[in-house]
């Protein structure tokens, strides 16, 4: 670490008079804009800054503060944290599983060097730091049904390796220096308004768009490939509730969170209850199929439920109804 300052970060952010000041990296990916909206509703528009290296669409500019931030540029990040009195950092910048396999060197740089920068920055500035992990942090030798919080983790992707590294680095710095590191292992996230980029679970978003546009979907996974999934409002709420949880409630620093678990066949069947003509063909892509086959089919999230009260609101049928309505509304 470049410099370590240690005091209870609760002093910075938990008092009711004092709203957290949040910076979100990788803010133009699947999750950033929605999380910023949820946090802004609670803490005020000006207290949540979205960042990315890309130019956002105008509607994102109009929603609240947006700045350029490159996670590989430590001084750029430090300037943002210091100038904006940031107290919470949400680190969403990462290359996902499938795209990471296609570009291992870039995934290593963004997912590992970028992480080291935010860890150093969080230590230096006593930030509460959220880093997402994933079902991808497990591998073929992990227990699959369900995968507990603590078990064998031998992922076979650079994405998974970088996420295990993030979990372990964050926990190490928490135990050694008191860093307020918080990490949730997300399932595949299903969203209507933003697209995932280069993941193995992306089909579960694309199938809805295809169902409403052409009525046909070609799936790159086998029909019976079961994976843990979550609707995006649950993912955002879990993240906000976990960030708000008092430190005394956390027996772990890395938790699984779960909502549902389905196969392509099952989600297609549920969509057919609304759109009976949907046709799905299966053309497994060897890279993504191998990745999916190495991941858990279900998460055990009992510790998250017990420690800080995690409870999902959306099951498969509620998620499908909501997705179709949201995409229809967007298309109109």
Residues with catalytic roles: 159
Nearer to ligand AKB (CB atom), residue 66 or residue 262: 262
Q: Least separation, in Å, of the C-beta of 304 and ligand AKB?
A: 17
49 vs 189, beta carbon nearer ligand AKB: 189
Of 159 and 262, which CB lies nearer to ligand AKB in the complex structure? 159
Q: Treating both helix axes as pointing N-terminal to C-terminal, what angle do 264-272 and 203-213 enclose, rounded to 10 degrees?
A: 30
- Distance of closest approach, residue 296 Cβ to ligand AKB, in angstroms: 10
Nearest one of 117, 96, 119 to 106, comparing CA atoms: 96
Q: In angstroms, what is the minimal distance from the CB of 140 to ligand AKB?
A: 16
Residue 170 vs 188, nearer CB to ligand AKB: 188
Spatial separation of the C-alpha atoms in residues 302 and 307, rounded to whole Å? 9
Tell the smallest beta-carbon distance from residue 323 to ligand AKB (Å).
Answer: 16
> How far is it, in rounded angstroms, from Cα 149 to Cα 299?
8
Residues whose CB falls within 8 Å of the CB of residue 248, separated by 6 or more in sequence, listed in order = none
3-state secondary structure 195-226: CCCCCCCCHHHHHHHHHHHCCEEEECCCCCCC
Q: Which residue is nearest to ligand AKB (CB)?
A: 199
Strand partners, 213: none
| CB neighbour list of residue 20: distance below 8 Å, 6 or more residues apart | 12, 13, 43, 47, 87, 88, 128, 243
Site of interaction with ligand AKB (CB under 6 A): 96-97, 134-136, 159, 188, 196, 199-201
Distance CA 195, CA 192 (A): 7
Q: 299: which strand partners?
A: 147
Nearest approach in angstroms of CB 232 to ligand AKB is 12
Report the residue number, 20 or 29, with the smaller CB distance to ligand AKB: 29
């Amino acid at each position: 670490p470049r410099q370590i300052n240690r005091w209870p970060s609760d002093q910075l952010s938990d008092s009711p008079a004092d709203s957290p000041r949040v910076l979100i990296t990788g803010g133009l990916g699947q999750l950033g804009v929605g999380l910023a909206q949820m946090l802004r509703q609670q803490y005020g528009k000006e207290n949540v800054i979205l960042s990315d290296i890309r130019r956002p669409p105008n509607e994102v500019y109009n929603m609240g503060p947006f700045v350029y931030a490159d996670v590989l540029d430590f001084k750029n990040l430090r300037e943002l944290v210091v100038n904006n009195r940031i107290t919470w950092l949400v680190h969403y910048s990462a290359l996902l599983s499938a795209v990471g396999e296609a570009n291992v060197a870039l995934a290593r740089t963004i997912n590992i060097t970028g992480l080291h920068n935010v860890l150093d920055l969080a230590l230096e500035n006593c930030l509460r730091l959220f880093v997402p992990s994933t079902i991808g942090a497990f591998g073929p030798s992990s227990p699959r049904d369900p995968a507990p919080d603590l078990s064998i983790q031998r992922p076979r992707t650079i994405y998974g390796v970088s996420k295990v590294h993030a979990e372990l680095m964050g926990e190490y710095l928490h135990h050694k220096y008191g860093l307020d590191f918080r990490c949730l292992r997300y399932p595949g996230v299903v969203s209507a308004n933003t697209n995932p980029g280069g993941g193995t679970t992306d089909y579960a978003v694309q199938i809805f768009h295809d169902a409403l546009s052409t009525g046909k979907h070609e799936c790159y996974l086998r029909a019976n490939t079961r994976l843990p999934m979550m609707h995006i409002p649950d993912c955002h709420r879990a993240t906000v509730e976990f960030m708000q949880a008092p430190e005394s409630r956390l027996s772990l620093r890395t938790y699984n969170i779960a909502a549902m678990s389905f196969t392509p066949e099952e989600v297609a069947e549920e969509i057919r209850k609304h759109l009976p003509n949907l046709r799905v063909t299966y053309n497994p892509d060897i890279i993504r199929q191998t990745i999916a086959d190495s991941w858990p089919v279900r998460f055990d999230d009992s510790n998250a439920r017990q420690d800080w009260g995690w409870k999902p609101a959306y099951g498969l049928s509620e998620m499908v109804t909501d997705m179709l309505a949201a995409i229809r509304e967007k298309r109109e």
